[in-house]
Amino acid sequence: MSLADDVLDRAAELRRRRETFVVATVVRVEPPTSAQAGDKALITADGKLWGWVGGSCSEGLVRREALVAMADGQPRLVKIAPDEAAEHQPGVVLHLSTCPSAGKLDVFIDPQLPRPLLLVVGGTPAAHTLIKLGATIGYSTCAVHRGAMPADFPEANLVIDSLDLGPARPNASTWAVVATMGHYDEDAVAALLRHDVAYIGLVASRRRTATVLGVLQARGITGLDRVRRAADSAAGSSQEEIALATLAEIAAERHAHERRYAIPLPETATDPVCGMQVEVTGAMHTLTLGETSHYFCGAGCLDTFKREGRPLKA
């Protein structure tokens, strides 16, 4: 198996685990470079890079652009060259390289954000309709119902037969609806409140909603302000219409208030010899003079600085 194939296999596993990552693909090179067209790498949200997109001159730049792409969700073409004209082009990011090899490299950065998860608790007609509609419009779907089997929810990506929600990996891109219709509302809401999900909707009448919140408050459960009555405008409608109104409410709120991933960018310093940006953490070539630490892209720049005692570039 080639390295590129292995990268794609790892990408499939990250997608299965609903993790955020970037696939970086070298699409064009002008030698001399250590990369070839078709080389690939994965960059995860913690900044780790696996694969190959060139040596030290390109790796740090690709990693930083990948983290930016994960934060804004936008793909981009990164052009790394020593003398590229600084012409603005939509979707293109230019980085001037000071690498001694003087090669050129174009890398396509493709962020892979997990699909939003629609998690529905209950075995009611509203719950089944929510799963069907959610799957149709592109949500990853998880059906939760005590004793449920996968065959009970054929459209669901995952079926959980208890209120242990761990297998679903609920997170800030999870939109949860309790549609148990009085059977175990309180337990379902309590299970969801243990997770940092984007939305918790309860399909219930006003009176029933007040009762559920009152019971949970008496149990000492906090965070009840996160629970809302789902599809309030659809009161008196059919189960299917309530499901449709709930999903419309979720879609509108998701697009209006969608949380972007907060991806921390690594601290960088400027190589005083060549001007290249160097990641401070894990830097291999450093020199401390007095209270000032200098960071270098490679041994050549470090040796030059030691020998000449001054930067080559102003």
Per-residue pLDDT of 261-274, as tens digits, reads 456 667 778 888 87
Residue matched to tokens 């609920």? 170
- What is the rounded average pLDDT for all residues in the chain? 87
pLDDT score for 312: 46
Q: Over 60: is that where the pLDDT of 33 sits?
A: yes
Q: Over 80: is that where the pLDDT of 15 sits?
A: yes
Q: Over 80: is that where the pLDDT of 157 sits?
A: yes
- Least Cα distance to 176 among 207, 137, 216, 140 occurs for 140
Which uninterrupted H or E stretch holds 249? Answer: helix 239-257
CATH number for 117-257: choose from 1.20.1730.10, 3.40.30.10, 3.40.50.720, 3.30.450.20.
Answer: 3.40.50.720
Q: Over 70: is that where the pLDDT of 67 sits?
A: yes
The identity of residue 86, as a single letter, is A
* % of the chain beyond a pLDDT of 90: 54
Q: Over 50: is that where the pLDDT of 208 sits?
A: yes
Q: Over 60: is that where the pLDDT of 259 sits?
A: no
Grade residue 314 by pLDDT with cuts at 50, 70 and 90.
Answer: very low
Write down the domain spans for the chain: 3-113, 117-257, 267-314
- The DSSP secondary structure of 88-156, one letter per residue, reads --TTEEEEE---TT--EEEEEEEEEPPPPEEEEE--SHHHHHHHHHHHHTT-EEEEE-TT--GGGSTT-
113 or 235, higher pLDDT: 113
In tens, the pLDDT along 196-205 reads 999 999 999 9
**Torsions phi, psi of 124, nearest 5?**
-85, 170
In tens, the pLDDT along 114-135 reads 889 999 999 999 999 999 999 9
pLDDT score for 257: 65
In tens, the pLDDT along 87-114 reads 677 888 887 776 666 678 999 999 998 8
pLDDT score for 223: 96
SS3 label, residue 23? strand
Question: What are the tokens at 117?
Answer: 């998860």
